[in-house]
């Protein structure tokens, strides 16, 4: 037999029976150390910082890496492979607790998190670009030479990645990238790197997105990532996030298949709601705050949807049903509004007519233009960093203890002068808040009537979310999960010397220590509240409003599955009992018939 063939067979056999070890290192060539025995690790041809080795080892084996002569932390093999570990980082995988919620239907149109947004792992992003990009906050550079995303199991490398910068008044300025390949990473090719500079707890926008997904509304995916320059210089910890205003988001949020593929679709205009965006058919600015990604969009169909909103009678169930089924999905809208209120998302639709997207899936169309029977739109919230009291205006102070009705059926003076008097256009000098809240006043305020079906539906969502999810019990479980997941990451990030320093020291960054991260989870550090004491105040507020209590034990996906299994058994048992009763009834009827027949026959024979 050919020697090369024998060697190939042996290599395959070794890989079948061996454990796979993988590590990311910027220190140079790596070796695997198991009990003093050293094994050479091979670098990846396309990802030179990624090293692999196949070595026979059992779960529970102690090991570490030696890269460029430096000793890594001690590790323990927990299975047949290690996933993509990072030299010097001890925690690779953490089983993040998930919210449980079954009061509404889940949003099933999305492709899901995929490996890119797996909360159990903190991805590693390596950027090859002139270092002046990071010292000068862009410095006129609009493309990365190469960009590598190392995920839990796989790695993706892209060339000539377009990049824009934002918020350069902060040390950790934001970046938005566009991968030229539309397939990108699991069909996502437009991504934001958000610094969470205003959030000493770092997790507010990730947590808000988790809640949104749990209650079944469309929302962008987010995950914490480490960013490095290609020479190994650490840049910082960022929130990697989808851009809701992009086709990248639309195709993955509306056209995902369970197997990870994308359905065929026809894109329609994506409307990015800037400050002043309200569903007002008589908008004096002709819906100009709904910024379309299509040039010269006359917004004829969007205007028709707002006309349908105007003519909907909130006290007529048929009228509301028509709007919900054919023009604007109200049920997901109600849940989004409930979450805006609960989490204090003041920089949003309800409180600022801003930071949202409206989209119409082309397949949800019946009829022709000007004669549509159906042309349905969906509301999507975005940008969740200004939540749980962060950045909240003094005019909204204390909202966590006020009933939601305090913010319904308010007039132009309230919104423009009491709440948003500071929202003045630098170009026109006019207040950007339109002073109207068409959706809020019509469907939550019942057009001034005491009650209506839509108000009842909204309140049912509000109560259910608080009872099962937005409460100290369920939220503490989730927040503590992030505390453990990101503990090492925050220590790393807050120990870094930033390559870029904002000119105004006051605006640089709010959190600069691990201690602030820990405290901000429970109490106010740069704002009135931390995450958990905000949740406690708001949950108690809603419970008081409606005379309800929240769960004493957090609902989880596992508890829901168990409950469903038990209900299924009860149903099966009931069906079996019903079948037995039906069978017994049939037999009884047959017996009676036989007896009657025998009696009639006896009588007949007697005569």
In a domain, 283, yes or no: no
Residues ≥6 apart with Cβ < 8 Å to 595: none
- In 3D space, the residue among 330, 426, 385 whose CA is nearest the CA of residue 531 turns out to be 385
In angstroms, rounded to a whole number, what is the distance separating the alpha carbons of residues 222 and 237?
Answer: 13
Identify whether residues 376 and 516 lie together within a single domain.
no
3-state secondary structure of 76: strand
In a domain, 217, yes or no: yes
* Residues of the chain below pLDDT 50: 10, 13, 603-607
In angstroms, rounded to a whole number, what is the distance separating the alpha carbons of residues 417 and 112?
Answer: 42
Show which of 34, 68, 86 is a domain's final residue. 86
Alpha helices in 181-238 (DSSP H): 204-214
Tell me what pLDDT residue 14 has. Answer: 52
Identify whether residues 388 and 412 lie together within a single domain.
yes
In a domain, 216, yes or no: yes
Tell me what pLDDT residue 171 has. Answer: 85
Tell me what pLDDT residue 150 has. Answer: 98
In angstroms, rounded to a whole number, what is the distance separating the alpha carbons of residues 480 and 581?
Answer: 52
Identify whether residues 333 and 234 lie together within a single domain.
no
- Give the residue numbers spanning the domain of 347: 290-467
Identify whether residues 226 and 303 lie together within a single domain.
no
- In 3D space, the residue among 249, 188, 206 whose CA is nearest the CA of residue 380 turns out to be 249
| Residue 455 burial (10 A CB sphere; 0-12, 13-18, 19+) | buried
Q: What angle do CA 243, 245, 246 make, to 5 degrees?
A: 75
In angstroms, rounded to a whole number, what is the distance separating the alpha carbons of residues 118 and 98?
Answer: 12
Identify whether residues 363 and 319 lie together within a single domain.
yes
Tell me what pLDDT residue 189 has. Answer: 97
**Number of domain units in the chain:** 4
3-state secondary structure of 462: helix
Identify whether residues 461 and 584 lie together within a single domain.
no
Tell me what pLDDT residue 407 has. Answer: 98
Identify whether residues 445 and 303 lie together within a single domain.
yes
Show which of 526, 546, 566 is a domain's final residue. 546
Q: What is the pLDDT of residues 330-348, one digit of tens each?
A: 999 999 999 999 999 999 9
Query: Do the Cβ atoms of 241 and 196 come closer than 8 Å?
Result: no
- In 3D space, the residue among 427, 416, 432, 445 whose CA is nearest the CA of residue 277 turns out to be 432
In this structure, what token pair is assigned to residue 599? 């009696």
In a domain, 349, yes or no: yes
b/e per residue 103-128 (b: at least 16 CB within 10 A): bbeebeebbeebbbbbbebbbbbbbe
Q: DSSP states of 93-152 as a string?
A: ----------SS----SS---TGGG-TT---EEEEES-THHHHTTTTT--EEEEEEEE-S
Tell me what pLDDT residue 147 has. Answer: 98
Is 0.75 topped by the overall pTM?
yes
Give CA separation, 439 vs 289, 311, 327, 541, in Å. Answer: 16, 12, 13, 23
Rg of the Cα atoms in the chain: 29
**What is the 3-class SS of 257-281, one letter each residue?**
CCCCCECCCCCCCEEEECCCCCCCC
Show which of 433, 452, 467 is a domain's final residue. 467
In a domain, 274, yes or no: no
In angstroms, rounded to a whole number, what is the distance separating the alpha carbons of residues 213 and 592?
Answer: 59
Tell me what pLDDT residue 464 has. Answer: 98
In angstroms, rounded to a whole number, what is the distance separating the alpha carbons of residues 551 and 116?
Answer: 32
Tell me what pLDDT residue 444 has. Answer: 98
Identify whether residues 341 and 239 lie together within a single domain.
no
Identify the helix (H) or strand (E) that includes residue 359. strand 356-359
Tell me what pLDDT residue 182 has. Answer: 79
Give CA separation, 49 vs 68, 145, 165, 406, in Å. Answer: 12, 16, 26, 56
DSSP state letter for 202? S
- CATH code where residue 27 lies: 2.60.40.10
Identify whether residues 173 and 320 lie together within a single domain.
no
Identify whether residues 251 and 185 lie together within a single domain.
yes
Query: How many helices (H) does the chain have, and how many strands (E)?
Result: 15, 22
b/e per residue 392-406 (b: at least 16 CB within 10 A): bbeebeebbeeebee
Residues ≥6 apart with Cβ < 8 Å to 92: 82, 83, 84, 85, 86, 121
- In 3D space, the residue among 294, 295, 386, 286 whose CA is nearest the CA of residue 343 turns out to be 386
In angstroms, rounded to a whole number, what is the distance separating the alpha carbons of residues 336 and 238?
Answer: 25
The dihedral through the CA atoms of 7, 9, 10, 11 has a sign that is positive
Tell me what pLDDT residue 604 has. Answer: 45
Tell me what pLDDT residue 585 has. Answer: 58
In angstroms, rounded to a whole number, what is the distance separating the alpha carbons of residues 233 and 499?
Answer: 9
In a domain, 522, yes or no: yes
Tell me what pLDDT residue 572 has. Answer: 67
In a domain, 4, yes or no: no
Identify whether residues 524 and 541 lie together within a single domain.
yes
In a domain, 2, yes or no: no
In angstroms, rounded to a whole number, what is the distance separating the alpha carbons of residues 542 and 400?
Answer: 9
Query: Do the Cβ atoms of 439 and 333 come closer than 8 Å?
Result: yes
Tell me what pLDDT residue 584 has. Answer: 58
Tell me what pLDDT residue 592 has. Answer: 55
Tell me what pLDDT residue 606 has. Answer: 47
Identify whether residues 199 and 238 lie together within a single domain.
yes
């Amino acid at each position: 037999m050919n020697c090369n063939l024998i060697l190939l067979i042996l290599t395959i056999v070794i890989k079948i029976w061996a454990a796979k070890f993988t590590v990311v290192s910027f220190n140079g060539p790596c070796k695997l150390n198991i009990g003093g025995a050293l094994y050479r690790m091979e670098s990846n041809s396309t990802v030179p910082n990624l090293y692999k080795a196949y070595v026979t080892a059992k779960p529970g084996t102690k090991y570490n890496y030696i890269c460029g002569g430096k000793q890594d932390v001690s590790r323990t093999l927990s299975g047949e492979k290690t996933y993509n570990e990072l030299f010097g980082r001890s925690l690779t995988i953490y089983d993040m607790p998930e919210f449980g919620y079954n009061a509404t239907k889940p949003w099933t149109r999305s492709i899901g998190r995929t490996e890119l947004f797996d909360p159990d792992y903190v991805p590693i992003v390596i950027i090859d670009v002139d270092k002046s990009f990071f010292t000068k906050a862009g410095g006129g550079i609009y493309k990365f030479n190469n960009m590598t995303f190392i995920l839990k199991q796989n790695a993706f490398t892209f060339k000539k990645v377009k990049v824009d910068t934002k918020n350069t008044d902060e040390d950790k300025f934001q970046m938005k990238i566009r991968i030229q390949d539309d397939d990108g990473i699991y069909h996502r090719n437009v991504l934001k790197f958000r610094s969470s500079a205003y959030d000493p707890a770092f997790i507010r926008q990730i947590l808000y997105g988790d809640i949104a997904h749990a209650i079944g509304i469309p929302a962008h995916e987010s995950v914490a990532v480490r960013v490095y320059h290609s020479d190994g210089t650490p840049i910082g910890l960022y929130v990697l996030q989808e851009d809701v205003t992009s086709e990248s988001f639309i195709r993955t949020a509306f056209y995902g298949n369970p197997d990870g593929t994308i359905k065929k679709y026809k894109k329609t205009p994506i409307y990015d709601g800037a400050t002043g965006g309200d569903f007002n058919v008589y908008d004096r600015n002709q819906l100009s705050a709904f910024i379309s990604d299509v040039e010269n969009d006359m917004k004829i169909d969007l205007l028709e949807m707002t006309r349908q909103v105007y003519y909907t009678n909130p006290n007529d169930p048929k009228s509301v049903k028509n709007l919900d089924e054919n023009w604007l999905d109200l049920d997901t809208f109600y849940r989004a509004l409930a979450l805006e209120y609960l989490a204090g998302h003041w920089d949003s639709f309800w409180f600022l007519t801003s930071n949202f997207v409206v989209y119409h899936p082309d397949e949800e169309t019946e009829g022709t233009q000007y004669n549509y029977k159906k042309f349905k739109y969906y509301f999507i919230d975005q940008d969740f960093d200004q939540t749980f009291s962060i950045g909240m205006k003094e005019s909204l102070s204390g909202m966590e203890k006020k009933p939601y009705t305090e913010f319904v059926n308010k007039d132009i003076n309230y919104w423009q002068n009491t709440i948003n008097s500071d929202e003045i256009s630098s170009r026109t000098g006019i207040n950007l808040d339109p002073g109207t809240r068409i959706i809020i006043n019509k469907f939550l305020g019942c057009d001034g009537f005491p009650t209506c079906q839509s108000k009842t539906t909204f309140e049912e969502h509000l109560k259910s979310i608080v009872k099962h999810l937005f409460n100290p019990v369920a939220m503490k479980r989730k927040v503590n999960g992030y505390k453990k997941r990101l503990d090492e990451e925050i220590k790393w990030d807050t120990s870094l010397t930033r390559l870029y320093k904002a000119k105004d020291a006051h605006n640089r960054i709010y959190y600069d220590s691990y201690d602030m991260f820990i405290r901000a989870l429970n109490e106010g550090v740069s704002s009135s509240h931390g995450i958990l004491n905000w949740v406690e105040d708001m949950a108690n507020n809603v419970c008081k409003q409606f005379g309800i209590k929240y769960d004493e034990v957090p609902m989880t996906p596992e508890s829901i599955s168990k409950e469903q299994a038990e209900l299924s058994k009860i149903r099966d048992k009931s069906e079996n009992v019903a079948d037995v009763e039906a069978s017994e009834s049939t037999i009884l009827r047959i017996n009676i018939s036989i007896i009657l027949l025998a009696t009639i026959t006896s009588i007949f024979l007697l005569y």
